[in-house]
């Protein structure tokens, strides 16, 4: 072989050796000459706790500087306290005693940590519903909640939960994506009895749910019963979630009843299929709008009064001077106005200034009205305030004198 061929063969061998060195970077090179910019992460499968004497397999992921996953890398493992939890060379954590511990994975001088809690063995698993009741309407759904505790009654969280239904044809159960202690139970189209179970750490808890027809619903209530929105300079903010409570003829709650929602005036607000009420942003620059939301369950229905007001621009009062004797009463009213001068049904707060002590007792007398009763000689003042915009009414001067033998009652 001539000298050029020898050099070419050596060059090819050098390139091959370089590729091998790259593929085994985490295990081969020393800290003084890193040749890969890797990122390390650890997965515990969504689990944040492990029981004493139980194991948990951790999975490392190594990515290069481009974000691509790498395989075949060597990872070293360590525990911040091996008396609480130890970790093997393959990433298997073993709980030793209750406590908090940090597990570290290292590759190419890069590290990733995972916080774990070692918990006592599970002794009790209790399954229940988000609301009192044990009946679920056909076609409806509700939340099921599990409480896990040790032999001393201390709550345990972070362990994996396996949910199941004794009859998936009548009711199915699915774990929440955001809270592993909560599951969604959905009823099928036929009545019956179903056991819903949760298994944690080898311990199972269950509850019985009766699937009942919609005709079993005898009464419904909607909350809140009234909703009022008053705009600020930035708009209305978030909407309001309406909820329906249903019961049978004996007053027992029926969970997960399917509800049909409707609204009389979309110009005021909109209502979603799940009962989320959202004020119409167009009202901000218009005048007050009202609507009625109707919740229908089977042949039953309930309504919610909705008021949507633009920002309060001014507040007028029925009087600016009140003169009372002790024992006399008078009603003072305020009216909120929008920028167009139109009245609004906006709930206003009231503020008293009592330089010489409390001389009147206030009592609510309807929307934006207050009944004042003189209780002691002296002076005071009153303002109505819109807490959203900060708009304040004129000041109402209040004067109370001692009662005369024949003072009339000024109550209105």
What is the Cα Rg of the chain in Å?
35
Tens of pLDDT, residue by residue over 30-51, are 444 444 577 899 999 889 999 9
- N- to C-terminal Cα distance for the chain? 119
Backbone angles phi, psi at 12, to 5 degrees: -65, -40
CATH number at residue 293: 2.60.40.10
Tens of pLDDT, residue by residue over 230-255, are 999 889 988 999 999 999 999 999 99
Does residue 125 belong to any structural domain of this protein?
Answer: no
Report the run of H or E that residue 11 belongs to, with start and end: helix 3-23
* Contact (Cβ atoms closer than 8 angstroms) between residue 78 and residue 111: no
Q: Pick from 123, 211, 119, 125: which is nearest to 163 by CA? A: 125
The percentage of the chain sitting over the pLDDT mark of 70, rounded to a whole number, equals 90
Report how far residue 23's alpha carbon sits from residue 241's, in angstroms, rounded to the nearest whole number.
Answer: 55
Q: How confident is the model at residue 131 (pLDDT cuts 50, 70, 90)?
A: confident
Classified as helix, coil or strand, 256 is coil
Range of the domain at 395: 314-401
Residue 323, pLDDT > 50, answer: yes
Q: DSSP assignment of 173-220, as one string?
A: EEE-SS-TTEEEEEE-SS-EEEEEEEEETTEEEEEEEEEE-GGG--EE
Report how far residue 36's alpha carbon sits from residue 30's, in angstroms, rounded to the nearest whole number.
Answer: 11
Q: Are residues 25 and 78 in the same domain?
A: yes
Classified as helix, coil or strand, 283 is helix
pTM over 0.75: no
Q: Are residues 104 and 148 in the same domain?
A: no
Report how far residue 112's alpha carbon sits from residue 265's, in angstroms, rounded to the nearest whole number.
Answer: 55
Tens of pLDDT, residue by residue over 357-371, are 789 999 999 999 999
Does residue 97 belong to any structural domain of this protein?
Answer: yes
Out of 196, 212, 228, pick the residue that ends a domain.
Answer: 212
Q: How far is CA 260 from CA 263, 276, 330, 388, in A?
A: 11, 12, 46, 32
Does residue 412 belong to any structural domain of this protein?
Answer: no
Report how far residue 302's alpha carbon sits from residue 138's, in angstroms, rounded to the nearest whole number.
Answer: 20
């Amino acid at each position: 072989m001539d000298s050029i061929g020898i050099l070419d063969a050596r060059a090819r061998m050098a390139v091959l050796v370089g590729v091998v060195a790259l593929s085994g970077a985490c295990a081969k090179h020393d800290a003084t000459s890193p040749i890969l910019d890797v990122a390390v992460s650890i997965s515990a499968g969504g689990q944040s706790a492990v029981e004493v004497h139980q194991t948990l397999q951790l999975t490392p992921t190594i990515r290069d500087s481009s974000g691509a996953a790498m395989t075949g890398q060597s990872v070293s493992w360590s525990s911040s306290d091996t008396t609480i939890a130890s970790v093997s060379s393959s990433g298997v954590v073993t709980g030793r005693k209750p406590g908090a511990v940090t597990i570290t994975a290292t590759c190419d001088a890069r590290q990733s940590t995972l916080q774990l809690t070692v918990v006592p063995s599970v002794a009790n698993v209790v399954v229940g519903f988000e609301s009192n009741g044990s009946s679920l309407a056909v076609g409806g759904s509700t939340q099921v909640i599990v409480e896990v505790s040790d032999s001393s009654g201390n709550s345990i969280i972070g362990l994996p939960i396996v949910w199941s239904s004794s009859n998936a044809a009548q009711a199915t159960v699915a774990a929440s994506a955001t809270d592993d202690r909560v599951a969604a139970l959905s009823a099928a189209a036929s009545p019956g009895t179903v056991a819903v179970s949760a298994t944690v750490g080898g311990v199972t808890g269950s509850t019985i749910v009766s699937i009942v027809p919609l005709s079993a619903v005898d009464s419904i209530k909607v909350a809140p019963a009234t909703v009022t929105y008053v705009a600020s300079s930035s708009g209305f903010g978030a909407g309001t979630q309406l909820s329906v409570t249903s019961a049978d003829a004996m007053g027992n709650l029926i969970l997960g009843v399917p509800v049909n929602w409707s609204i009389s005036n979309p110009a005021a607000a909109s209502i979603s299929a799940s009962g989320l009420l959202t004020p119409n942003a167009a009202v901000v620059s218009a005048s007050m709008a009202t609507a009625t939301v109707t919740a229908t369950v089977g042949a039953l229905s309930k309504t919610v009064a909705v008021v949507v007001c633009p920002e309060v621009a001014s507040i007028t009062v029925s009087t600016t001077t009140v003169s009372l004797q002790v024992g006399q009463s008078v009603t003072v009213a305020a009216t909120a106005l929008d920028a167009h001068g139109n009245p609004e049904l906006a709930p206003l707060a009231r503020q008293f200034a009592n330089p010489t002590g409390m001389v009147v007792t206030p009592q609510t007398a309807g929307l934006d009205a207050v009944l004042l009763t003189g209780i002691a000689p002296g002076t005071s003042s009153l303002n109505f305030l819109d807490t959203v915009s900060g708009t304040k009414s004129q000041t109402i001067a209040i004067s109370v004198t001692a009662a005369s033998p024949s003072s009339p009652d000024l109550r209105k």
